[in-house]
């Protein structure tokens, strides 16, 4: 097997099991906060939000730094460092004595992470250009698959072995990811990749910095749009349901519908982007996603929302892999780790802003307006992307054919 294919499957496995481990935290975090001595419902919600959100802030700040080190020292060492630290930090969370320990460990987790960014950069750099879209789609499938399975595993394990012990299992899964990468991933590097550049030199090396900025903004808006809905899905389902029984289960199924369809579609859309170009897939995905958010504001029962969320997942599966592919195509290899780090900062910033903004819009104006706001953002972004990236790419191709 060619080394890049082995790298892809090993990294996909590592991302899958690390995603299972990290996403296990979602269903047990409020319960663990209560286990640590917080019993007032409002305070449990407050602390759960703080503990969950502070990780995104430190991730956004430190992702470019680890991207810089990835360019200097290699992507495999950064993936090993991040997965090993994650295993230690998860065990530390299992040993936490109060919520302040959890907040501190979550901040440290974000500051010392960078696992996904290192893996994406490694696969993007080691994969032939004609297969890059497919490979990044496969990697995205592993990530989404792990994120879908993780909450189910976490909820089951917490009942079977306890909250603290579940964090120990998460740490063990992260360590398995570390071992897989250490034993079976090969990184081939050239001397040009170790040149040390400051931020000004990095931007100076970009052939089209306006294109890169557009991709960063698209990543931020995409994550903001997707995360703005998550805090209100359960409340929305309770509002449109005829019965209040099994609301949590129904909400979980509706929430999982988009992730499941994304897992099914990601590799196929990646393969399609290799044939027709990632800019076409990304533009179409932005338009379809923006349109599909609108009817979600008018649904009358949960199964209608579930169908629309499933269709939405088919479109969102083409967003992040296409953005990563376009970054690979438009970025010199000596700075690609730094650029992927900046893009991850945009991604985590969008997740943090979206989670806060969605709840605030729902409180001020109503839940339906969150869907309208999200749809407008995506459609405006699609128009801007066409003007800044797709139109420019199409014009360049026409000029080349005439020459």
Structure confidence at residue 398 (pLDDT): 34
DSSP state of 187: -
Res. 370: pLDDT tops 70: yes
Res. 393: pLDDT tops 90: no
Other beta carbons within 10 angstroms of residue 73's beta carbon come to: 15
Which residues fall within 8 angstroms of residue 70, CB to CB, at 6 or more apart?
A: 78, 114, 117, 118, 121, 337, 338, 340, 341
Name the least confident of 123-127, 231-235, 254-258: 231-235
From the number of C-beta atoms within 10 Å of its C-beta (0-12, 13-18, 19+), residue 207 rates as exposed
Q: Do domains 1-184 and 205-403 have the same CATH topology?
A: yes
Structure confidence at residue 402 (pLDDT): 36
287/285 Cα distance (integer angstroms): 5
Other beta carbons within 10 angstroms of residue 158's beta carbon come to: 21
Q: What is the mean pLDDT of residues 271-291?
A: 93
Q: Where are the domains of the chain?
A: 1-184, 205-403
230/52 Cα distance (integer angstroms): 13
Which residues fall within 8 angstroms of residue 73, CB to CB, at 6 or more apart?
A: 194
400: confidence class by pLDDT, cuts 50, 70, 90:
very low
Other beta carbons within 10 angstroms of residue 76's beta carbon come to: 21
Q: What is the pLDDT of residues 83-109, one digit of tens each?
A: 999 999 999 999 999 999 999 999 999
Give the DSSP per-residue string, 262-283. HHHHHHHHHHHHHHH-HHHHHH
Phi, psi of 245 (to 5 degrees): -75, 140
Helices (H), 294-318: 302-316
* 8 Å CB contact between 371 and 296: yes
pTM: 0.81
Structure confidence at residue 230 (pLDDT): 73
Other beta carbons within 10 angstroms of residue 206's beta carbon come to: 16
Q: What is the pLDDT of residues 44-68, one digit of tens each?
A: 767 877 887 788 888 888 988 898 8
Cα angle 20, 284, 313; round to 5: 30
253/341 Cα distance (integer angstroms): 32
Structure confidence at residue 395 (pLDDT): 46
pLDDT > 90 in the chain, percent: 43
244: confidence class by pLDDT, cuts 50, 70, 90:
low
**Which of residues 189 and 318 earns the better pLDDT score?**
318
242/226 Cα distance (integer angstroms): 26
Q: What is the mean pLDDT of residues 308-322?
A: 92
Does 1.20.1250.20 match the CATH number of domain 1-184? yes
Structure confidence at residue 213 (pLDDT): 92
Q: What is the pLDDT of residues 335-354, one digit of tens each?
A: 888 899 899 899 989 988 88
From the number of C-beta atoms within 10 Å of its C-beta (0-12, 13-18, 19+), residue 295 rates as middle
Structure confidence at residue 388 (pLDDT): 85
214/286 Cα distance (integer angstroms): 13
Tokens representing residue 55 in the block? 């990780």
Specify the CATH number of the domain 205-403.
1.20.1250.20
279: confidence class by pLDDT, cuts 50, 70, 90:
very high
């Amino acid at each position: 097997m060619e080394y890049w294919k082995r790298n892809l499957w090993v990294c996909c496995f590592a991302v899958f099991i690390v995603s299972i481990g990290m996403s296990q935290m979602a269903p047990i975090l409020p319960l663990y906060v209560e286990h640590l001595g917080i019993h007032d419902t409002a305070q449990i919600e407050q602390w759960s939000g703080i503990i969950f959100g502070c990780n995104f802030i430190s991730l956004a700040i430190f992702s470019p730094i680890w991207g810089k080190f990835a360019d200097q020292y290699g992507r495999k060492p950064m993936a090993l460092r991040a997965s090993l630290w994650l295993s230690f930090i998860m065990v530390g969370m299992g040993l936490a004595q109060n919520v302040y320990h959890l907040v501190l460990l979550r901040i440290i987790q974000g500051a010392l992470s960078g696992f996904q960014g290192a893996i994406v950069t490694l696969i993007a750099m080691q994969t032939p250009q004609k297969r890059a879209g497919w490979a990044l789609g496969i990697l995205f499938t592993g990530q989404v698959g792990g994120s879908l399975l993780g909450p189910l595993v976490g909820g089951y394990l917490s009942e079977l072995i306890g909250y603290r012990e579940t964090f120990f299992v998460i740490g063990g899964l992260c360590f398995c990811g570390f071992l897989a990468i250490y034993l079976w991933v090969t990184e081939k590097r050239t001397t040009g990749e170790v040149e040390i550049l400051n931020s000004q030199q990095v931007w100076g090396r970009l052939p089209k910095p306006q294109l890169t900025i557009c991709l960063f903004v698209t990543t931020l808006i995409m994550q903001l749009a997707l995360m703005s809905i998550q805090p209100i899905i359960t409340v929305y389902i309770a509002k449109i349901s005829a019965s209040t029984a099994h609301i949590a289960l129904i909400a979980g199924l509706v929430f999982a519908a988009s992730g499941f369809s994304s897992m099914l579609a990601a590799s196929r859309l990646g393969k399609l982007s290799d044939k027709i170009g990632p800019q076409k897939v990304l533009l179409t995905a932005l338009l379809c996603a923006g349109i599909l958010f609108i009817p979600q504001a008018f649904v009358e029962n949960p199964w209608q929302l579930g169908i629309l969320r499933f269709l939405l997942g088919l479109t969102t599966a083409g967003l992040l892999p296409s953005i990563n592919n376009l970054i690979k195509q438009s970025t010199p290899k000596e700075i690609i780790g730094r650029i992927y780090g900046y893009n991850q900062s945009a991604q985590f910033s969008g997740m943090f802003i979206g989670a806060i903004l969605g709840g605030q819009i729902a409180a001020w104006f109503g839940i339906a307006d969150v869907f309208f706001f999200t749809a407008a953002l995506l459609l405006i972004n699609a128009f801007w992307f066409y003007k800044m990236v797709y139109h420019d790419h199409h014009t360049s191709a026409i000029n080349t054919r005439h020459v």
